[in-house]
Structure 1
């Protein structure tokens, strides 16, 4: 276990170091535009999987937490000129509080009813933002960030580095949860909540913790987005595509491990970026839907589950 932790720590530091070295090696800013989307998807996928994968509560409300993080960060910067890193922490805190509140209100229901309740959360928050003039309303809000540090190589490179660090921290947190007693308890909840309760597992507290951590990660994932686009609007921040991707990526990679969402995010985001450049961005939702149907039908445990099954068959 200690050796695995050391390997993971070295790999995480290597990824961050590579991100800091990338601006001095790669000169085309497009790769940082595309790279930002990929690492953002890694954070979104990881955040969703804490509740939807580990605990088995399918959450259709990922866009609500992401959009909340977007608007918290944009509002705090435009009004109070709060730095980006502090805005990320505030967005994570707001997402955690929203997740905790959502958990208290909805965790007594399961299955499709829980999914519908979380989907309603997206509609409620988007409607609220639409009707707040200080948030830009339906017209949206421009966000012009401060000049990036000289060492970063430019604004796009800097926001990519920030998002990369957020993604690495999110994956490290998800991995810790998976390997700790919290992860074991959540797996028991996913297998049989009644049996886990009878065995002394504090199911409600674990589910509330999963909702809180999931909301915090999703909120933090949305915080850098205004500085990436320089403009935010409710339709984009609370987009249906965010919710679909959040579900599709862990299902593609595998929901039972921290590595599955990372694999699914890298694959799906890369294909979407290639399709946007070569074909059309409007086909993304159709593509995600088809891929989701295919994996649910042919590989319900994702790529990791398929690889495990094939290796077991070979033995």
Structure 2
């Protein structure tokens, strides 16, 4: 194991311990509600970046995968009373199958055509769920939380810790992909897909793999949301804001490195939560648009790219 790997896993362990301690000592429930949302978007942004960042295929279907994760959990709870771990695993499995199907159908498309296809996927799935009465249809459905298990005092604290586990899992997978032959192959096809194919890179296989992994993680992240809200309806679960916000967080942080989406999600997610409490949730859309325009124009490679540029300029100045 390399020094960087040891540092990463040590940091992840410290993070999880800190989250767990927080659930035991903090009495106010709001930090857990707000923290859950921020952690949720960190995991979504990291998962999105596997396909949208490493491979360069801009995916507007985040809300489709997230919503399917929500309704997979709803179905399992209503039909079988399934526990949360099973809901998450089932969501991940369904998301992987969705990603594989999406890859087979659309990954020969490129650029805007692929992005439009992912938007169409969201509309199709949302329409299907809207007309599925067993899971509530257009009116939505109430979800009853089961009794919480020790050592947590309430279900929101447990969901907060579970979402932290999903963040560590998503980041670990993203980091591994970036540092492996998979990441190098995805970067090659992002830079020039035709040239990558000519040099023997299995571009279609890599795109399918990225789509499967990204889809599985996004669905897994969506599964706990049903219990978090205790309610699910198609308009909320498949809200296009999930797609736009996740994309913005990844671009603001930078997609060239696994840490970029984390930085962008923390920055934008925390800002949105503060604005929701102090001003209004409607201001979030304005702030999201302004920050996205600012970074696209001023720092197209995101915060990570800006840091690298500043470091490079500093080294040149020292020379």
Name the TM-score, length of structure 2 as normaliser.
0.97
Could you say what secondary structure the match of 1:63 adopts? helix
Counterpart position of 1:263:
263
Matches within 5 A, 1:9-28: 9-28=9-28
Counterpart position of 2:313:
313
Give the drift of 1:85: 0.6
Could you say what secondary structure the match of 1:281 adopts? coil
- CA–CA distance in structure 1, aligned partners of residues 13 and 71 of structure 2: 30
Q: Per-residue CA shift, 1:148-177, capped at 9, x if unaligned?
A: 113112111111011111111011111111
- CA–CA distance in structure 1, aligned partners of residues 152 and 188 of structure 2: 44
- CA–CA distance in structure 2, aligned partners of residues 104 and 61 of structure 1: 15
Counterpart position of 1:166:
166
Moved more, 259-268 or 141-150: 141-150
Q: Unaligned 5+ residue runs, structure 1?
A: none
Moved more, 1-10 or 133-142: 1-10
Give the drift of 1:43: 0.7
- CA–CA distance in structure 2, aligned partners of residues 130 and 289 of structure 1: 29
- CA–CA distance in structure 2, aligned partners of residues 157 and 75 of structure 1: 23
Q: Per-residue CA shift, 1:84-125, capped at 9, x if unaligned?
A: 011100001101110110011111111111111101111111
Give the drift of 1:25: 2.2
Give the drift of 1:24: 2.0
Could you say what secondary structure the match of 1:59 adopts? coil
Query: Once superposed, what is the RMSD of the aligned Cα atoms?
Result: 0.9
Q: Does the CA-based 8 Å contact 1:20-1:152 persist in structure 2?
A: no
Counterpart position of 1:250:
250
Could you say what secondary structure the match of 2:108 adopts? coil
Counterpart position of 2:106:
106
- CA–CA distance in structure 2, aligned partners of residues 221 and 268 of structure 1: 18
Give the drift of 1:240: 1.5
Is the aligned partner of 1:150 residue 2:135? no
Counterpart position of 1:83:
83
- CA–CA distance in structure 2, aligned partners of residues 165 and 49 of structure 1: 18
- CA–CA distance in structure 1, aligned partners of residues 78 and 154 of structure 2: 21
- CA–CA distance in structure 2, aligned partners of residues 177 and 143 of structure 1: 36
Q: Per-residue CA shift, 1:251-301, capped at 9, x if unaligned?
A: 011101110000111111100000111111122222212211111111110
Could you say what secondary structure the match of 2:194 adopts? helix
Matches within 5 A, 1:135-214: 135-214=135-214
- CA–CA distance in structure 1, aligned partners of residues 15 and 82 of structure 2: 28
Could you say what secondary structure the match of 2:146 adopts? coil
Aligned residues: 315
